[in-house]
Amino acid sequence: MRRLTVFEHLALDGYFVDALGDMRWAYRPEPDAEWDAYVTGNASGDAVLVFGRVTYDLMQGYWPTPLALEQNPAVAKRMNALTKLVFSRTLDQAIWENTRLVKGDAVANMRKLKGERGEDMVILGSGSLVAQFAAAGLIDEYQLVVNPRALGAGRTLFQGLKKPLGLKLIKTRAFNNGNVVLNYEALA
Protein backbone atom coordinates (compact mmCIF):
# COMPACT_ATOMS: atom_id res chain seq x y z
CA MET A 1 0.00 0.00 0.00
CA ARG A 2 1.25 3.48 -0.86
CA ARG A 3 2.02 5.82 2.02
CA LEU A 4 0.58 9.30 2.35
CA THR A 5 2.69 11.89 4.17
CA VAL A 6 1.94 15.53 5.00
CA PHE A 7 4.76 18.12 4.85
CA GLU A 8 3.57 21.36 6.37
CA HIS A 9 4.93 24.59 7.85
CA LEU A 10 3.26 25.80 11.05
CA ALA A 11 3.68 29.02 12.99
CA LEU A 12 4.27 28.81 16.75
CA ASP A 13 0.62 29.70 17.33
CA GLY A 14 -0.52 26.74 15.22
CA TYR A 15 -1.54 28.40 11.96
CA PHE A 16 -0.41 27.05 8.59
CA VAL A 17 -1.68 30.08 6.64
CA ASP A 18 -2.06 33.66 7.81
CA ALA A 19 -5.32 35.61 7.99
CA LEU A 20 -5.14 36.25 4.22
CA GLY A 21 -4.55 32.56 3.40
CA ASP A 22 -0.89 33.20 2.55
CA MET A 23 1.94 30.76 3.27
CA ARG A 24 4.86 33.01 2.26
CA TRP A 25 5.58 33.83 5.92
CA ALA A 26 7.27 30.40 6.17
CA TYR A 27 9.96 31.22 3.60
CA ARG A 28 12.72 33.52 4.71
CA PRO A 29 15.44 34.99 2.51
CA GLU A 30 18.22 34.61 5.12
CA PRO A 31 20.53 31.79 4.04
CA ASP A 32 20.85 28.70 6.23
CA ALA A 33 23.03 26.05 4.61
CA GLU A 34 21.75 23.24 6.84
CA TRP A 35 18.08 24.07 6.16
CA ASP A 36 18.72 24.55 2.43
CA ALA A 37 20.41 21.13 2.25
CA TYR A 38 17.44 19.56 4.08
CA VAL A 39 14.94 21.14 1.67
CA THR A 40 16.99 20.09 -1.36
CA GLY A 41 17.30 16.56 0.03
CA ASN A 42 13.54 16.36 0.57
CA ALA A 43 12.95 17.52 -2.99
CA SER A 44 15.21 14.79 -4.38
CA GLY A 45 12.74 12.01 -3.55
CA ASP A 46 10.34 10.40 -5.98
CA ALA A 47 7.01 10.88 -4.22
CA VAL A 48 3.87 12.01 -5.99
CA LEU A 49 2.96 15.54 -4.88
CA VAL A 50 -0.64 16.08 -3.76
CA PHE A 51 -2.38 19.47 -3.74
CA GLY A 52 -5.78 21.00 -3.27
CA ARG A 53 -6.75 23.65 -5.79
CA VAL A 54 -5.64 26.69 -3.79
CA THR A 55 -2.15 25.32 -3.08
CA TYR A 56 -1.89 24.03 -6.65
CA ASP A 57 -2.61 27.53 -7.97
CA LEU A 58 0.11 28.99 -5.73
CA MET A 59 2.68 26.31 -6.61
CA GLN A 60 2.06 26.29 -10.35
CA GLY A 61 2.24 30.07 -10.33
CA TYR A 62 5.80 29.95 -8.96
CA TRP A 63 7.76 26.72 -9.54
CA PRO A 64 7.65 26.65 -13.36
CA THR A 65 8.88 30.27 -13.59
CA PRO A 66 12.38 31.57 -14.39
CA LEU A 67 12.41 33.22 -10.94
CA ALA A 68 12.03 29.83 -9.20
CA LEU A 69 14.77 28.33 -11.35
CA GLU A 70 17.03 31.24 -10.42
CA GLN A 71 16.22 31.30 -6.68
CA ASN A 72 16.12 27.56 -6.01
CA PRO A 73 17.12 25.60 -9.12
CA ALA A 74 17.38 22.10 -7.58
CA VAL A 75 13.96 22.28 -5.92
CA ALA A 76 12.33 23.94 -8.96
CA LYS A 77 13.57 21.22 -11.30
CA ARG A 78 12.22 18.47 -9.02
CA MET A 79 8.90 20.21 -8.39
CA ASN A 80 8.35 20.52 -12.12
CA ALA A 81 9.49 16.98 -12.94
CA LEU A 82 7.58 15.09 -10.23
CA THR A 83 4.14 13.66 -10.82
CA LYS A 84 1.47 15.85 -9.25
CA LEU A 85 -2.17 15.28 -8.32
CA VAL A 86 -4.54 18.20 -7.81
CA PHE A 87 -7.85 17.48 -6.08
CA SER A 88 -10.47 19.98 -7.18
CA ARG A 89 -14.18 20.32 -7.76
CA THR A 90 -13.75 23.59 -9.68
CA LEU A 91 -10.71 23.25 -11.98
CA ASP A 92 -11.41 22.17 -15.54
CA GLN A 93 -7.81 21.35 -16.37
CA ALA A 94 -4.38 21.18 -14.74
CA ILE A 95 -1.79 23.00 -16.83
CA TRP A 96 1.38 22.39 -14.79
CA GLU A 97 3.68 19.76 -16.31
CA ASN A 98 3.09 16.18 -15.06
CA THR A 99 -0.15 17.06 -13.25
CA ARG A 100 -3.32 15.00 -13.15
CA LEU A 101 -6.64 16.46 -12.07
CA VAL A 102 -8.65 14.37 -9.57
CA LYS A 103 -12.37 15.22 -9.50
CA GLY A 104 -15.14 13.94 -7.24
CA ASP A 105 -15.00 12.66 -3.67
CA ALA A 106 -11.47 13.41 -2.40
CA VAL A 107 -11.52 10.81 0.39
CA ALA A 108 -12.80 8.01 -1.85
CA ASN A 109 -10.28 8.90 -4.55
CA MET A 110 -7.37 8.99 -2.10
CA ARG A 111 -8.42 5.68 -0.56
CA LYS A 112 -8.35 4.17 -4.08
CA LEU A 113 -4.98 5.78 -4.92
CA LYS A 114 -3.42 4.46 -1.71
CA GLY A 115 -4.49 0.94 -2.67
CA GLU A 116 -2.82 1.14 -6.08
CA ARG A 117 0.79 0.33 -6.85
CA GLY A 118 3.08 3.30 -7.28
CA GLU A 119 5.11 5.99 -5.61
CA ASP A 120 4.32 7.18 -2.10
CA MET A 121 2.48 10.52 -1.94
CA VAL A 122 3.18 13.80 -0.12
CA ILE A 123 0.65 16.55 0.56
CA LEU A 124 2.09 20.07 0.50
CA GLY A 125 -0.08 22.84 1.94
CA SER A 126 -3.69 21.99 1.13
CA GLY A 127 -5.16 22.26 4.63
CA SER A 128 -8.67 21.25 3.64
CA LEU A 129 -7.34 18.01 2.11
CA VAL A 130 -5.21 17.35 5.19
CA ALA A 131 -8.22 17.72 7.50
CA GLN A 132 -10.39 15.46 5.31
CA PHE A 133 -7.74 12.76 4.90
CA ALA A 134 -6.76 12.91 8.60
CA ALA A 135 -10.39 12.43 9.66
CA ALA A 136 -10.64 9.42 7.32
CA GLY A 137 -7.43 7.86 8.70
CA LEU A 138 -5.62 8.07 5.35
CA ILE A 139 -2.45 9.92 6.45
CA ASP A 140 0.47 7.76 7.54
CA GLU A 141 2.95 10.44 8.61
CA TYR A 142 2.97 14.14 9.45
CA GLN A 143 6.19 16.12 8.90
CA LEU A 144 5.48 19.43 10.59
CA VAL A 145 7.97 22.29 10.39
CA VAL A 146 7.40 24.62 13.34
CA ASN A 147 8.68 28.08 12.38
CA PRO A 148 9.82 30.64 14.99
CA ARG A 149 7.01 33.04 14.13
CA ALA A 150 3.59 33.81 15.53
CA LEU A 151 0.91 34.97 13.09
CA GLY A 152 -1.86 35.98 15.47
CA ALA A 153 -4.58 34.79 13.11
CA GLY A 154 -5.06 32.39 10.25
CA ARG A 155 -6.25 28.86 9.68
CA THR A 156 -5.18 25.76 11.54
CA LEU A 157 -4.16 22.64 9.67
CA PHE A 158 -6.84 20.49 11.26
CA GLN A 159 -9.68 23.02 11.10
CA GLY A 160 -12.99 21.18 10.97
CA LEU A 161 -11.69 17.94 12.51
CA LYS A 162 -14.62 16.39 14.39
CA LYS A 163 -12.72 14.13 16.81
CA PRO A 164 -9.25 14.14 18.36
CA LEU A 165 -6.41 12.79 16.23
CA GLY A 166 -3.79 10.69 18.03
CA LEU A 167 -0.20 10.95 16.83
CA LYS A 168 3.10 9.44 17.96
CA LEU A 169 6.32 11.46 17.76
CA ILE A 170 8.91 9.45 15.82
CA LYS A 171 11.65 11.99 15.07
CA THR A 172 12.69 15.61 15.63
CA ARG A 173 15.30 17.86 14.11
CA ALA A 174 16.17 21.46 14.96
CA PHE A 175 17.87 23.88 12.56
CA ASN A 176 19.98 26.99 13.10
CA ASN A 177 17.28 29.17 11.50
CA GLY A 178 14.92 28.22 14.35
CA ASN A 179 12.82 25.75 12.38
CA VAL A 180 12.07 22.47 14.13
CA VAL A 181 10.83 19.48 12.14
CA LEU A 182 8.53 17.16 14.07
CA ASN A 183 7.72 13.80 12.49
CA TYR A 184 4.60 12.04 13.74
CA GLU A 185 2.95 8.83 12.69
CA ALA A 186 -0.78 8.37 12.93
CA LEU A 187 -1.97 6.05 15.69
CA ALA A 188 -4.29 3.26 14.58
Q: Sign of torsion, CA 27 33 35 37? A: positive
The full set of domain ranges for the chain reads: 4-186
Over residues 88-114, the mean pLDDT reads: 95
pLDDT tens digits, one per residue of 21-72: 888 888 876 778 898 888 877 777 789 999 999 999 989 999 999 999 998 8
What is the structure's pLDDT at 22?
86
Quick one: pLDDT at residue 30? 76
Q: Is 167 exposed, middle or buried (0-12, 13-18, 19+ CB in 10 A)?
A: middle
Contact status, residue 141 vs residue 151, Cβ threshold 8 Å = no
- Second-level CATH architecture of 4-186: 3-Layer(aba) Sandwich (3.40)
The per-residue pLDDT for 108 is: 98
pLDDT reported for residue 7: 94
Give the pTM.
0.91
CB of 96 closer than 8 Å to CB of 122: no
